[in-house]
Structures are given as C-alpha cells and as structure tokens.
Amino acid sequence: MKPSYLVVLLGISSGAFAQSTVTPYGIADLGVHYSNGINASNAPVVSGSTGSVSSGVNNTSRWGFKGQESLGADMTVLFQLEGGLNIDTGASAKSDKLFDRLAFVGIKTGYGSLTAGRQATILSDAISTVDPLGMRYASLNPNINVTALSNTAFGTHAFGVQYGTSGYNDNYYRLDNMLKYTGDFGPLVARASYSFGEVAGNSSALSTMGVGLAYQQDGLNISGAWMKFKNSADFDLQAYTLGAAYQLGSVQLKVNFGQNRADTSTTKQTRQHIASGGAALALTADLTLTSAYYRVRREATGFADDGFDRSFIYLEKSLSRRSTAYIETDYTNWKANAAGVSGNKTNSSNGYGLTIGLMHKF
C-alpha cells in the first residue's frame, strides 16, 4: 500500500472514532502448499509437483474498516471498506482497486438495509450459508468460482467478456454501482439487487438484477437466488443457486445446486451445472473435520462437453478465539479436454494438493 493511502485512512478513521463506531478488522491466512498436476495458481499442468507458500487457502486474507452510527428512531447509517491481501507477498489482491472486495455505504431500519457501492452479489450471499466447504479456499472452491461466478475462465468454455459491472472479464462475484436490499423477517431473509451499467446511451448494457430468499429455523437453512447480468453487447448471463444446510447434533450437512447460462454471441451459449455436498463434524470443542465434493459439468456451442470433479478434506484446530491451525487436502479429476494443453502436450487429467496452514483473525 502506498504511504499516502495509509495517511488518508488513518485520518479518516481517527475522525470517525469521535463520532461513531468504527472497527478495523482482517484475516491473515498463510500455508505451506504442495501440489501435483496443478500449479500454485490452481491451473492444470502437464505433470510434476510444485511447492509454494499460499495465501487464503482457508479464508481469503483481507483487511478493512466497518462502522455505523445510530440516528435514532430505529435508523442506522453504516459503511464498510474491505480489500483483499496476498499475505505471501504483501501485495493487494487487485492492483487496480484498494478496496476490491467491498466499498459501500447504506442505511438500516426496521424494514431492512439498503446499501450502495461495490458489493458481493446475492448469488454469493445465497451460497455463503449452504456451501459444503463453508466458503473456504476461494480460488479453488467451485461454488465460489462457478456457481457465484468468481472465475469462469476455464479453457474453451470461458465466457471471455465482462458481464455486469465487476470490472473484469470472467469474474462477476462483486459488482460496482450496486444497490442491494436485505430484509430480515424472523426466519425469512429477503434480498434484491440492481447494478447500474453506466453505459452512455444504453441503460441496459452491463446492468444486473437479482432476487434471493433464505429460510433459517431450528437448525435448517434453505437459501436460493437468481441473477441476470448483461454484457456491453446486451447479451444475457443468467445464474441460479439453491441449497440447504441442516445441523444434526455434532454434524452439519450441506448441499447446493447451481446453474448458469451465458449468451456469448447471437448463436452461441455456454452452460454450467454444479452439484455439491458435504459435512462438517465437530470431533471435539476445538477440532473440526470438514469434507466436501463438487461436480461441475459444462456445455458450449461448438465444443465438446467437459467439466471436473473436485473433493476436499479440512482438519482445523482452534488455538484460540482468533487463531486456527489447519491441514487441507484436495483432489481434482478433469473431464474430457477440460485440463487443456501446455504447449503441444496435454495436461494431467488429475491434480491434488496438500496444505498446512495458520489463520489469524484480528
């Protein structure tokens, strides 16, 4: 981070402390990672092993500020600024955005909250409580990458252009210029969002809209959402997700199903289907075992169908309220030609990884 950024932030936060509640926070997650058939960036390779120090294998490393001020009459102003970090190098996750993860301000009343700015989509909100892996390992988790559209750049089936106002090709997990409503009504949580494309002369291009609904009661959580994105040519990307979680004693069971369809031209489409399931078992008060399986299948006009199966196992030991040590292992089996080629050689159809890491929340 440039020194000038830090000076400005410290000035803002010191003034804000005198008027309202402002909380700095973050996550530092780092692990020693070994992989074979897949490199440190989680891309398939021809063969061979790779050793690395990797950031965010459990939870994405980040830093930020959040705060609120009560205005009385059951009305609160709130804000949040959050940026991703690569702890292995000290660099920001996105070089073009200081707060790439969140940057919004809003107001909350008894009828819900309305926020505006750069925010995660309601697809990501919907899967957050029902993802079998508990939203761990964002760069490799298929529900984050494929169901919630964080990384659709997979070989011949890549979408290839920007849908919505994310600012990036093939990544639409967070959007700029978004209005988001969240209403909490007892066991029901309702969500709706709209993001302005801000394309001169075309109010539809790059815009998005979506709705979501969740039910939570007596250990049961059912959560779903639908979104429609537009690209600059006004082609549609539609995405759906529906999942459930259930607490059964010391075991929590989770399943989720997702689907998306992108019109990549007037005559071509790409479709993706994602099914996932898993369980988290509390072995002791401070030791948890989590397993998850994901099945991804893809279809694209003019290309052979492909996809991949991916499984994970996490063993986590709570060292304190803020610190957790963990061991992670993952296995990927690429289907058809999804693994792709490197040069003139076909990449390995299988890849696996092992990580020993430490996560600290502050």
* pTM greater than the 0.75 cutoff: yes
Instruction: Residue 239: name the closest of 223, 222, 255, 259 by CA.
Output: 259
Residue with tokens 């259930």: 246
Q: Are 189 and 214 in contact (CB under 8 A)?
A: yes
Distance CA 127, CA 89 (A): 29
What is the tens place of the pLDDT at every residue in 102-137?
Answer: 999 999 999 999 999 999 999 999 999 999 999 999
Pick the range with the lowest mean pLDDT from 10-14, 34-38, 170-174, 252-256: 10-14
Question: How many CB atoms are located within 10 Å of the residue 137 CB?
Answer: 25
Cα of 254 vs its chain's centroid, Å: 17
Q: What's the confidence (pLDDT) of residue 20?
A: 84
The stretch 205-232 carries a mean pLDDT of 98
72: left (phi over 0), alpha (psi -120 to 50) or beta: left
Q: What is the DSSP letter of 146?
A: I
Segment holding 12, helix H or strand E? helix 3-17
Cα of 215 vs its chain's centroid, Å: 21
19 pLDDT band (50/70/90 cuts)? low
Residue at 28: amino acid letter: A
The stretch 289-312 carries a mean pLDDT of 97
Instruction: Residue 359: name the closest of 325, 313, 315 by CA.
Output: 325
Instruction: Residue 62: name the closest of 94, 19, 20 by CA.
Output: 94
Q: What is the DSSP letter of 141?
A: -
Distance CA 186, CA 300 (A): 42
Q: Are 310 and 331 in contact (CB under 8 A)?
A: yes
261: left (phi over 0), alpha (psi -120 to 50) or beta: beta
Distance CA 350, CA 362 (A): 37
Distance CA 254, CA 239 (A): 20
The stretch 191-218 carries a mean pLDDT of 97
What is the tens place of the pLDDT at every residue in 329-351?
Answer: 999 999 998 988 888 888 999 99
Distance CA 97, CA 212 (A): 28
The percentage of residues in the chain with a pLDDT greater than 90, rounded to a whole number, is 86
Distance CA 159, CA 136 (A): 24
What is the tens place of the pLDDT at every residue in 54-84?
Answer: 999 999 999 999 999 999 999 999 999 999 9
13 pLDDT band (50/70/90 cuts)? very low
| pLDDT for 15 beyond 90 | no
Q: Are 84 and 77 in contact (CB under 8 A)?
A: no
Give me the chain's average pLDDT, please: 93
In order, the DSSP letters of 280-348 are EEEEETTEEEEEEEEEEEEEETTEEEEEEEEEEEEEEEE-SSSEEEEEEEEEEEEETTTT-EETTEEPP
Q: What's the confidence (pLDDT) of residue 16?
A: 43
**Helix (H), strand (E) counts: the chain:** 3, 20
Q: Are 37 and 350 in contact (CB under 8 A)?
A: yes
